[in-house]
Chain A
Amino acid sequence: MMKGWLGMTNQSSTKMKINIGPQHPSTHGVLRLVLELDGEIIKSCEPVIGYLHRGMEKMAENRTYLQYLPTVDRIDYLGGFFDAYAFCDAVENLAQIELTKRTKYIRILTMEMNRLSSHLLWLGTFLLDMGATSPLFYTFRDREEILSLFEELTGQRMMYNYYTFGGVRHDVSNIWLRKVAEFVKKMPKKIKDYENIITDNPIFVTRTKDIGVISKHAALQYSITGPNLRASGINVDYRKQNPYLVYDKLDFEVPTAENGDSFDRYALRIAEMRECLKIISQCVAWLKVNPEEVISSVKQPMLKVPEGEFISNVEAPRGVCSCYVKSDGTGRPYRVKWRTGSYYAVQILPKLLENSIYPDLMAIFGSLDVILPEVDR
């Protein structure tokens, strides 16, 4: 007779159904997983979503474009700038609003800082999920500096409401830019510190290597995007492939990994943080010497968007964020649809978790960087 896990015979094993979440500290919000366990082995997993559904798409139909704009930051509260940009970009394309070059650089600067803060939070909580407490404090210390900079610029730490149609709300000052430059200067050493703690840590490596492998084929089948896709060895980045704003004028690399396991997803995000710093410092250098108007001349509350439809794709920290806007020529959107990266990362979970052991659950789920407000919208 075959011996199963922990020496239990197959005959005596009974399947057990357990619920994880919706209120669970390491599900990053309100994800509920219905697991079927055989001893410690996960036999099947069913994600149940919708606990954080706020009807973002229905809300849009009852509000003017300006009234809807502050709410889109809440779709992904760790990457508010990306959602705001996706919506602004769609509306600007429909209404044929031109951006000044300085506006484009400010948007890139804020988005990349946002990506960095989002990855920092992910790094801390991912390690926390796996039982390592101290990295959380280090990453939150550095994230706090970015949030303070954002607070100084926009008045908000997380939901910024900073972009407007055709511009941004305030210009960046040279003093603020100097603070950003100082922050960028000391960050590489901090990232090195994280790597010293984490990358060669034998416990971390054994828990993440060859765990939760997403093959190239599966990644495409399940429409996985962003860092999770690049960790599987597919080099796709909308910033390079279909450059928006002025990404084509900036010098940066798109890191990729090969195996598509949890460790690669970690290593890739660390590499992406370094690229963020590169982009930020280029933007700061450009903004220091090129003053220009950034306040939009468009009359925002009365904005009427001509009939048409548009879909804008943005490379957000958790994958491609697409915003579809259809206008019927009035002051309110006819239909808004959001496509976010986490939504599809949740969908691949059952496949990744099948026949893995229970302690791997957080090593897999955490590495996907799922955030639930983005899933439920």
Chain B
Amino acid sequence: MNFDDFKMMNNADGSFNKVLVEPAELCVVLSYLKNNAEFAFDRLNTIIAVDLGVEVGKFELIYDLHSIETGKTARISVIIDRNSPHIPSVVEIFKSAYFDECEIYDMFGIVFDKNSDLKRLLMPQSWIGYPLRKDYVQNDERLAWND
């Protein structure tokens, strides 16, 4: 993994730069960026999930990191397959990721491997479907509540 991209990254001027990372490498990259004094991205601001559409067949996850000392931000983008949405959990590295991962599971149905207590967070536990997917049928409440 080449970390030069992160050194060059500067989002202060209002641009949105992100570095593409393979799902298998995600945990290694995150813990390197967190623990290496050169970067010290010690706070995970949030995880953003985006459904890229049924035709594309991919989900995108953006990990938004912030360095307390320098104020710099880094964004890691991970693309995963829509049909078998699996990605390693990062709760071990950043505890704050637990709610984020549960919410993304709730809204997109993305499964975070090794997250021991993955559950729906905002929607009722009995909810059927994943609301923020682009192919979700809205106003189908009858179906969702009377299972």
Contact = CB atoms under 8 A, between A and B. Distances in A.
Interface residues of A, number: 35
Nearest to B44: A223
A339 B71 contact: no
Interface in A122-175: none
Interface stretch (B1-9, B25-33, B95-103): B95-103
A14 interface: no
Given A50-B121, A58-B132, A324 B48 contact: yes
Nearest to A244: B14
Interface stretch (A32-40, A234-242, A272-280): A234-242
A322 interface: yes
B122 A335 contact: no
Given A326-B50, A376-B122, A222 B45 contact: no
A49 B50 contact: no
A221 B50 contact: no
A320 B45 contact: yes
B122 A53 contact: yes
Given A221-B96, A223-B45, A339-B45, A50 B123 contact: yes
A344 B99 CA distance: 8
A241 B121 contact: no
Contacts of A359: none
Contacts of A57: 107, 132
Interface of B: 12, 14, 16, 42-46, 48-51, 62, 64, 68, 71, 75, 94-96, 98-99, 107, 120-124, 131-132, 138
Interface of A: 49-50, 53, 55, 57-58, 62, 93, 220-223, 234, 236, 241-242, 308-311, 313, 320, 322, 324, 326, 334-335, 337, 339, 343-344, 346-347, 376-377
Given A58-B138, A223-B94, 15 more contacts: A50-B121, A50-B122, A50-B124, A221-B94, A242-B12, A311-B16, A311-B64, A324-B46, A335-B48, A335-B132, A344-B96, A344-B99, A346-B99, A347-B98, A347-B99
